[in-house]
Chain A
């Protein structure tokens, strides 16, 4: 019985991270119609950046960050700054690259209203490949350990082993999701963003700057994936190919939950996390992902709008 609690709580922690990742993915899909196959790499990149800034001594300048040109060794080395500071530094970088640059250079150019969304899908697959291989060549070729910001202690209430990390993750994710909900529902800006997502034309008529609202959504997604990166990397390590697995599980969570609403992606994430741990513990650790993936196929078969999604509405 104790094992069941351990496995489930641990699963909820992982699930909470998937929930955050899934919410970000769902937001991009709903508000901009952008299906981002590089979402996993969007989590991997901040993880690597946080690690480099936090624990390594990066050389900022030509060689380290632009080795494509390579050769010259001009730059200055900065000392490791610790995980939390690194996190704070990575957030604006993520917002810029994964939010602004991504939106303006790709999404805006490739998503024409009434047109085909396949070029964007392909382009995001290209982005994923680019990020994976770049990180692999330039920064980390082998998996690197990633310290947890909550430490490694394990509590033992009632004989159930619960790690502080798991509790910390659940708390942080809860706060993040609640904040997001409050922001979207209770603030003026949040309601504007919802309006822009539901019906861009009407929103424009009402004077809402839709393009800017979409940009904010991309920025929010960038923050969410950075948070997810910080929280998930202790378990999966910082590796160049972490994105493949993480991305797939984030998509799975979003689709199972139903990405019509933030709530759907949230429940989907929790479900995927718990299911993954149950599969690992009670079937076989080798088939951990099988549980969520089989559920994904089942959900698409019987209820493609997701378990908590609404039918006949493909956007919010």
Chain B
């Protein structure tokens, strides 16, 4: 986790982007938060730190980042860690100013009321000391006495900083070195370093409970990467670096999360995608029996753990919401009827399952909960959806996720979105009160300028007539697609073969690939040609590719094909069923003219081929077999 996998890597021109912010006259707070959202190398973190220092000194308004002045005292060299702190703090909503005491000066800074730290007006002081400063050794002696004396010194410093300068102390929970003298027997021997550190940590915990201050659990960070990795003799002996510099970014991010919590910037709501996030597969396609969830398989267990993690967060006061591209009833059926579901509808405060884009749904969720977008985290397995939301709503936290859902819980928790500095009954009660009845927020699809989002997907649509190689898959898609299906004809493989061979029928199958992979066959269209007239006989599409202008692209290929065959007028029909309400306006959106509507809701359309104006399309179109040369 030291590589912060939930963050995207920084762009190549990162330092240049930092410098550009200096020239910018406008709203730089958002830019700063965006630039802090990347995984940064040390030189990149340093560029950011320099940028922030210049902006702070220049007195610029950095809202919505909340300012915090942090003093750091240490027995170790903290400069290189401090390089990473401004970006880490901004990532968690804080504009950080650092007051770095001179190397080794801890008690001196605390005792002198006019010391650099005490005179700085710092909001908080990080006492970044370790067992070495406390003089704890493995040389035996009375555990209690050694630990007691050492921690008394530390706590005295904390009180002095608080009393002299008003800075709230941030106390570490100390990491324990991995070396042991007796191996497994160490735990039974009095006077071991580990047992002394353990006593010190307990005293620090008691201080925080009794007198206040914040805890920074360096012990947990070290354990997460392994104490043997954490303490590095080359780094300590050489430059008195407290731990291996490879962990500077991780330490900084953890501290940033703490400072964000101090400023009330921790996130409050976890929005969950459903398909392939809370269960394997797609409930719309696979049904209750087909989704993967439960003890029967490794994948099934992964998804159980994702649900357990969400439930645990809810018990800690985090609000849960759902945003999924699915039919509402179909999505809820999993919560109501699947025996392995850990999450119930009653756990979800706002339940958005519809065909509207996710960004609009997230805005609806935030509004329904009276929260800012900066309170939301989106957990979604689909990289295209993640990119869409990041592009449309940069204030929403969207962690990058690995392909294997086994890791989703760990990566989500490691990102530290829900760090807190206080917790009580009220938090649980408040969160529970939101999740009354899985309310549905009314959402309107907003027309957004997503800029380059669709182009950045690097999509390729491959189209061609039906062929023998794909006949089975075409037949399957025809029979499986009930929602995005205009005429809902059910055909057998023999029927499909008949269409292939029929010279009077234009057949079209389309596959879509993008930078994240190949989605396979996603749309089927057939059209019967009769002289200068043509009639659409099938039009269906996988719901996975909504919102990408695939319909427009396919229409473009169809019109081009028909034009090549001398067709002048195209006819089309929408035949309503219980399931295909989402495509009632499909032909209207493509620009066909609605010429009739029956009482039953059947809609007839016409379009003149000559009047067609090709739109701008964000994808590359490949004709894998020239559709026009058939027949």
Say if A and B assemble together.
no
Give me the interface of B with A, judged by CB distance under 8 Å: none
